């Protein structure tokens, strides 16, 4: 019943703002064309508002899930006319606020004290109001200027209703639409479900902010404000107040003398640093959450807020993504095709030659062009057609990354339309790959994994012995089983010998590699002499036992 009520509400808002005028009815098949021409929304008068305002107000009425969709659209001026994109910009931080008395009540309930005792000053008028929370300016008792973020009351109930409807629609798509199984709509909704519920816990957002602050400590690229944990709870977050020019206010940025080319290039570098160096990225980088520190206009620095949505990548996905992008930048379309097959993103029986040719056809026209000359709407349409032709499956774990990349590309388009995205990103990826697979990467891998290997390796012979003991106790003692046990014992002895030799070989190789690197030499020199003596004795014992 809740789903039906929500569906009715969506249909009502759709009709009230006459969003049917946005549909390309003339291009639809005849049966659908007849349905839309006879649909009940024609009974509603067309509002005397611009089309952009109608869309914005409809999304605001439908709640946070739809507002976030509008935030993404607001950065895509290649997909929307300028008037609609300009109107949707108001969704970024000017969603209608809730009463300040309710905000004070939530703060006092969460922190267990009156606002007058918690803060020296507290502004009843919100600085900004977004889809999930709103922000008030305040001053702590020690004089520190802060902002207080408060969750919207009743927001969880609204999101539950929207998610229930999304699951219903995704299930129908997956069951009845021919493309449903390939696109995994239910998994995509489940991924969004986890993401948005994380956003409803402000303590999680505070932890995300602390992690990002550590990752970019003393960085000239981006500044992350500090969190005051003494005043932070699930529904309330208190954070350092920052000062900067909103990233979307390009007029003010230019008036301040900001080098827009450097700013756009830094945005690309921040994205790739978060994704590939840290595997921990701010996944809600719409313009309402990004400001610019203009104290040094020739070397501007980003300031980020709102860390409710962050993304991570598994090492395999991270590696495949980097190799795909590098092959793409180098126009090695065969490598792109092969990597898609190896990663399982397309079926294993996909003809490599045909897939390579299709990728080349889609990608080649956009190379060596600045963002202003690229129609990403047309590019995405061709890309989706290629994906459908080769049964390419949607990867739910990459949906958040794709959303973030759209935000970054939209910001770059606004800041510096002449930005060459390819030449900016390629050197960073090449450097990252060299560090990952070169000698320094091998040293770091050995340093991080060797203690774990050595810690677990002594258990291996005992595990083999325990397995043999269980087999002896569980099985009958017929002659053939006794022969099997003897064979397994011999294999156990050989396994122990090989284990000793392999462990010693790994240690020697690791030492050799470390000795050839400057940072490795420093580490070796820092090891006490008595440790090397113990190592030599242990090596002798292992060699003796492996004979």
Beta pairing class for 236-240 and 281-282:
unpaired
Beta pairing class for 301-304 and 222-223:
parallel
Query: If you search the block for the tokens 């008595």, which residue do you land on?
Result: 530
- 193 is an active site residue: no
Contact present, 493 and 464 (Cβ < 8 Å):
no
Contact present, 222 and 230 (Cβ < 8 Å):
no
CA 453 to chain centre: 31
What are the Cα distances from residue 97, in Å, to 91, 129, 132, 234, 335? 12, 5, 10, 20, 51
What are the Cα distances from residue 431, in Å, to 222, 294, 413, 486? 20, 29, 25, 54
H-helix or E-strand spanning residue 103: helix 100-111
126: burial class by Cβ within 10 Å (0-12, 13-18, 19+)?
Answer: buried
Annotated binding residue 405:
no
Annotated binding residue 146:
no
Residue 132 pairs with which residues in a beta bridge? none
The DSSP code sequence of 181-199 is HHH-HHHHHHHHHHHHHHH
Contact present, 417 and 371 (Cβ < 8 Å):
yes
What whole-number distance in Å separates Cα of residue 357 and Cα of residue 214?
Answer: 44
Annotated binding residue 58:
no
Residue 139 pairs with which residues in a beta bridge? 121, 145
Beta pairing class for 236-240 and 222-223:
unpaired
Contact present, 292 and 286 (Cβ < 8 Å):
no
Annotated binding residue 186:
no
Annotated binding residue 148:
no
Question: What is the number of other CB atoms lying within 10 angstroms of the CB of residue 255?
Answer: 11
Query: If you search the block for the tokens 């948005």, which residue do you land on?
Result: 196
Annotated binding residue 132:
yes
The DSSP code sequence of 288-349 is GGEEEE-SSTTS-EEEE---S-EE---HHHHHHHHHHHHHHHTT-HHHHHHHHHHTTSS-TT
H-helix or E-strand spanning residue 34: helix 30-38
What whole-number distance in Å separates Cα of residue 434 and Cα of residue 133?
Answer: 42
User: 284, 299, 418, 519: which one is catalytic?
Assistant: 284
Annotated binding residue 135:
yes
Annotated binding residue 134:
yes
Annotated binding residue 531:
no
Exposed e or buried b per residue across 135-170, where buried means at least 16 C-beta atoms within 10 angstroms of its C-beta: bbbbebeeeeebbbbbbbeebeebbebbbebbbeeb
> Which residue blocks in 145-272 are alpha helix, DSSP H?
155-176, 180-183, 185-199, 202-215, 250-255, 260-272
Annotated binding residue 129:
yes
Binding site for ATP: residue ranges?
Answer: 127-135, 149
- Residues with a catalytic annotation lie at 284
Binding site: residue ranges?
Answer: 127-135, 149
């Amino acid at each position: 019943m809740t789903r039906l009520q929500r569906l009715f509400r969506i249909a009502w808002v759709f009709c009230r703002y006459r969003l049917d005028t946005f549909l390309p009815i003339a291009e639809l098949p005849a049966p659908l064309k007849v349905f839309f021409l006879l649909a009940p929304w024609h009974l509603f008068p067309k509002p005397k508002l611009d089309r952009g305002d109608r869309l914005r107000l409809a999304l605001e009425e439908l709640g946070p899930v739809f507002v976030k969709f509008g935030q993404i659209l607001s950065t895509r001026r290649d997909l929307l006319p300028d008037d609609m994109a300009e109107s949707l910009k108001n969704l970024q931080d000017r969603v209608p606020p809730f009463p300040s008395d309710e905000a004070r009540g939530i703060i006092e309930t969460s922190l267990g004290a009156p606002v007058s005792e918690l803060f020296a000053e507290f502004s009843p008028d919100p600085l900004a109001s977004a889809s999930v929370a709103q922000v008030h300016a305040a001053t702590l008792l020690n004089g520190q200027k802060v902002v207080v973020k408060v969750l919207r009351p009743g927001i969880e109930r609204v999101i539950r209703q929207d998610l229930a409807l999304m699951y219903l629609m995704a299930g129908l798509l997956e069951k009845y639409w021919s493309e449903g199984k390939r696109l995994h709509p239910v998994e995509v909704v489940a991924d969004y479900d986890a993401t948005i519920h994380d956003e409803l816990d402000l303590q999680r957002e505070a932890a995300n902010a602390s992690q990002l602050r550590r990752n970019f400590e003393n960085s000239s690229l981006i500044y992350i404000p500090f969190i005051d944990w003494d005043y932070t709870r699930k529904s309330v977050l208190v954070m350092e107040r920052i000062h900067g020019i909103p990233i979307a206010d390009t007029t003010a940025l230019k008036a301040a003398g900001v080098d827009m080319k450097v700013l756009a290039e830094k945005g690309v570098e921040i994205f790739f640093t978060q994704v590939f160096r840290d595997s921990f990225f701010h996944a809600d980088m719409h313009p309402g959450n990004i400001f610019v520190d203009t104290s040094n206009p020739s070397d501007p620095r980003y300031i980020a807020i709102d860390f409710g949505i962050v993304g991570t990548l598994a090492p395999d996905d991270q590696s495949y993504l980097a190799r795909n992008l590098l092959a793409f930048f180098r126009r090695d379309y065969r490598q792109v095709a092969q990597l898609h097959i190896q990663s399982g993103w397309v079926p294993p029986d996909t003809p490599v030659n045909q897939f390579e040719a299709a990728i080349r056809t889609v990608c080649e026209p956009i190379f060596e062009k600045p963002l202003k000359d690229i129609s990403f709407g047309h590019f995405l349409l061709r890309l989706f057609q290629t994906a459908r032709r080769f049964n390419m499956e949607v990867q739910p774990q990459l949906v958040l990354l794709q959303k973030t990349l759209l935000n970054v590309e939209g910001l770059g388009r606004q800041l510096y339309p002449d930005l060459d995205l390819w030449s900016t990103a390629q050197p960073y990826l090449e450097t990252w790959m060299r560090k990952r697979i070169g000698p320094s990467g091998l040293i770091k891998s050995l340093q991080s994994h060797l203690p774990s290997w050595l810690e677990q390796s002594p258990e291996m012979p005992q595990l083999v012995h325990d397995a043999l003991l269980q087999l002896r106790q569980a099985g009958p003692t017929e002659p053939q089983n006794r022969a099997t046990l003897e064979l397994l014992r011999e294999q156990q002895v050989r396994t122990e010998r090989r284990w000793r030799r392999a462990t010693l070989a790994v240690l020697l190789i690791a030492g050799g590699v470390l000795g050839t690197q400057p940072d490795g030499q420093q580490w070796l020199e820092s090891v006490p002499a008595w440790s090397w003596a113990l190592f030599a004795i242990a090596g002798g014992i292992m060699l003796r036992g492996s004979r």
